[in-house]
């Protein structure tokens, strides 16, 4: 069973300014911010400002905007975290492991090895802010 779009999901609340986030990039169509339960240092989320649960629900314009932001943020993450590469992934639906019913990309430095479990352990906010500042400086 897949999610229906829920206007009260955590990412929708972040977009409305009801919940704070540690922002690394924002434009007219997208927002990129630190994952508060990162799987590794530098783990950043890229979301559209459009309401969509999966990539299949997303407009072509929002999809393209997300990819542009992923490119900008991904390059900055590699530079900030001194990584020669990065991992980008996106999950569609509950069965695939999607935990928030708002389309999003995960971007983090390096290969997908030595990862913490997804959405399990909160990170120290000050540590996230330090990493975010490094990424922002590289955009």
Would you put residue 28 in left (φ > 0), alpha (ψ -120 to 50) or beta?
alpha
* The 30-34 sheet, strands edge to edge: 23-26, 30-34, 44-48, 105-109, 86-89
* 22: CB partners within 8 A, 6+ apart: 33, 34, 36, 125, 128, 129, 132
Residue 1: the pLDDT is: 52
Please report the pLDDT score of residue 86 as a whole number: 97
Cβ(135)–Cβ(69) below 8 Å = no
Q: Which domains can be identified in the chain, with CATH numbers? A: 10-137 (3.30.428.10)
Give me the pLDDT at residue 28, please: 98
- Mean per-residue pLDDT, 81-103: 95
pLDDT tens digits, 109-128? 999 888 888 888 899 999 99
> pLDDT per residue over 23-80, tens digit each?
999 999 999 999 999 999 999 999 999 999 999 999 999 999 999 999 999 999 999 9
CB of 46 within 8 A of CB of 84?
no
Known catalytic residues? 104
């Amino acid at each position: 069973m897949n999610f229906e779009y829920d206007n009260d999901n955590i990412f929708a609340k972040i977009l409305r300014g009801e919940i704070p986030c540690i922002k690394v990039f924002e434009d007219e169509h997208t927002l990129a911010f630190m994952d508060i339960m990162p799987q590794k240092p530098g783990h950043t989320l890229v979301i559209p400002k459009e309401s969509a649960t999966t990539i299949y629900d997303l407009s072509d314009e929002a999809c393209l905007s997300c990819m542009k932001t992923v490119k900008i943020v991904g390059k900055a993450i590699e530079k900030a975290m001194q990584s020669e590469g990065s991992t980008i992934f996106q999950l569609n639906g509950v069965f695939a492991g999607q935990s928030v019913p708002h389309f999003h990309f995960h971007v983090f430095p390096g290969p997908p090895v030595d990862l913490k479990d997804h959405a399990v352990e909160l990170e120290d906010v000050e540590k996230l802010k330090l990493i975010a500042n490094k990424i922002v400086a590289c955009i």
